[in-house]
Amino acid sequence: MSPVPLLAVENLTMCFGGLVAVDNISFTAYRGEITAIIGPNGAGKTTVFNCLTGFYRPSAGRLAVHKDGEILQLERIEGFRIVRRAGIARTFQNIRLFAGMTVLENLIVAQHNPLMKASVFSLAGLLGLPRYRAAERAAVERARHWLDRIGLTDRADWLAAALPYGAQRRLEIARALCTGPALLCLDEPAAGLNPRESAELNDLLLGVRDEEQIGILLIEHDMSVVMGISDHVIVLDYGRKIADGTPAEVRADPEVIKAYLGEDEIDNAAEEAPLRPLAGREGGARANGAAA
């Protein structure tokens, strides 16, 4: 892939009091690649995300993003500016949509910054100047594009909370994509999805990777997703990185098998999607069936 990494994490460490949640981790992620971070519960995966997206200030280490030939130090950028400055968007493990707003509004809010600029401190917006109206139309078009991609166009005016679980997950991904990111961080996007939704998610992510040429960073437990679409897998355990390589390499790594996956588990995982009984998947499955 491209020689310059999109994201270079060097010696990232995050402590909470005496607890070292992330211990001296380094890795890189590239444009046009899907990088998966896996590891048992409590391995520090989400903490890495929180450091990347400015929710936590790392205790030590450097988080560099290469953007337009410039190197940005994420740890020095105030949390909410990271999207705009460094182009990192994320989703959350427990879906965080604007539940009381419509699907379309969720996607428009994601384009707050360009729209705000176009509305000139709301003045142009209040007066309804053409400059703002054009910007709003463009925002709606972008939203429509992603709605088409996730198959929610016909439900654009529904309240986000009224969507079935699987659709909410897709909407959250679309919302992150509406910010026009260079790096998309997905925290367990397949959690609670049924096998078919999971497969559709794989297609979506592969499509986004290839068409948009952006980097995707993925935390996932569902091995069918991880092994199926990742270009690159990083394994964490107790806050440390224990393996880093292609899915095949990681799968064969004895350290990984010993520390985390277990021999049987990984064979199963590779061959069939693990069926985990999770609340919410029923609704998702039904809705998906109905939509299909």
Task: Name the residues that contact another protein, by CB under 8 A.
Answer: 16, 46, 50, 53-55, 79-84, 89-90, 92, 96-102, 104-105, 108-110, 112-113, 115-116, 119, 122, 125-126, 136-137, 140, 143-144, 147, 153, 156-157, 175-176, 179
* Phi-psi sector, 95: left (phi>0), alpha (psi -120 to 50), beta: beta
Measured from the CB atom, is 175 or 281 closer to another protein? 175
Measured from the CB atom, is 220 or 244 closer to another protein? 220
Minimum distance of another protein from residue 96's CB (angstroms): 4
Is 83 within 8 Å of 110 (Cβ atoms)?
A: no
Measured from the CB atom, is 175 or 241 closer to another protein? 175
Is 163 within 8 Å of 132 (Cβ atoms)?
A: no
Measured from the CB atom, is 110 or 223 closer to another protein? 110
Minimum distance of another protein from residue 86's CB (angstroms): 10
Minimum distance of another protein from residue 124's CB (angstroms): 9
H runs (alpha helix) in the chain: 45-52, 82-86, 103-109, 112-118, 123-127, 130-150, 165-178, 195-212, 223-229, 247-252, 254-256, 263-271, 281-291
Is 52 within 8 Å of 1 (Cβ atoms)?
A: no
Minimum distance of another protein from residue 146's CB (angstroms): 12
Measured from the CB atom, is 89 or 259 closer to another protein? 89
Distance of alpha carbon 57 from alpha carbon 79, whole angstroms:
9
Strand 60-67 to strand 7-16: parallel, antiparallel, or no bridges (unpaired)? antiparallel
Q: What angle do CA 50, 56, 59 make, to 5 degrees?
A: 115
Measured from the CB atom, is 62 or 84 closer to another protein? 84
Measured from the CB atom, is 28 or 50 closer to another protein? 50
Beta-strand ranges (E) seen in the chain are: 7-16, 19-29, 34-38, 60-67, 70-73, 88-90, 183-187, 215-219, 232-237, 240-245
Measured from the CB atom, is 11 or 122 closer to another protein? 122
Distance of alpha carbon 50 from alpha carbon 44, whole angstroms:
10
Distance of alpha carbon 43 from alpha carbon 17, whole angstroms:
17
Minimum distance of another protein from residue 187's CB (angstroms): 9
Minimum distance of another protein from residue 63's CB (angstroms): 16
Q: How far apart are the first and last CA of the chain?
A: 36
106: amino acid identity, one letter: N
Minimum distance of another protein from residue 224's CB (angstroms): 26
Minimum distance of another protein from residue 140's CB (angstroms): 5
